[in-house]
Amino acid sequence: MITFLLRMLVFLASAAIGLIAADLALEGFQIQWDRWWGFVICIVIFAILQSVLSPVIAKLADRYAPVLMGGIGIVSTLVALIIVVLLPSGGLRITDPVGWIVGSVIVWIVTALCTLLLSKLLLKDTATTKDATSKKGSKTGDAKRRTAN
């Protein structure tokens, strides 16, 4: 359960960092800070959409256009951005073609890097704890088997 919550935190944080990076880098990619609650909703929905859309788009591309398999991440990022921008709650606006194209690339790259780095930082402790617990359990089981014989 803790691992699931940490993964969710990683996805939300990486989505937020990716969107903020695009906002800082591009004029046409704008976070509406006066509607901060709308931006928080955008982050949550964007992270969920990224998690759901990637496997769906990968299946579609594998079936209908295998050449596109390498671009699944960028395509799912673009689709997630389109949906988030269309939300009535506001929080994110993309106003020009450069914002759409370059913004998608920035969000995709930053989100991927942040997910990788944050996963290594936050999830290594839970993996280490699981390994130590399983090894301890197997040693205990081995000792019990030896004394039984």
pLDDT band for position 100 (cuts 50, 70, 90): very high
Mean pLDDT lowest among 8-22, 59-73, 106-120: 59-73
What are the structural domain ranges in the chain?
Answer: 2-148
Note the pLDDT of residue 114: 92
Note the pLDDT of residue 53: 85
What is the rounded distance in angstroms from the CA atom of residue 46 to the CA atom of residue 21? 15
Spatial CA neighbour of 10 closest among 103, 126, 89, 104 = 126
Q: What is the mean pLDDT of the chain?
A: 82
Note the pLDDT of residue 109: 94
What is the rounded distance in angstroms from the CA atom of residue 114 to the CA atom of residue 16? 10
**pTM for the full model?**
0.76
Please give the share of the chain, as a percent, with pLDDT higher than 90. Answer: 36
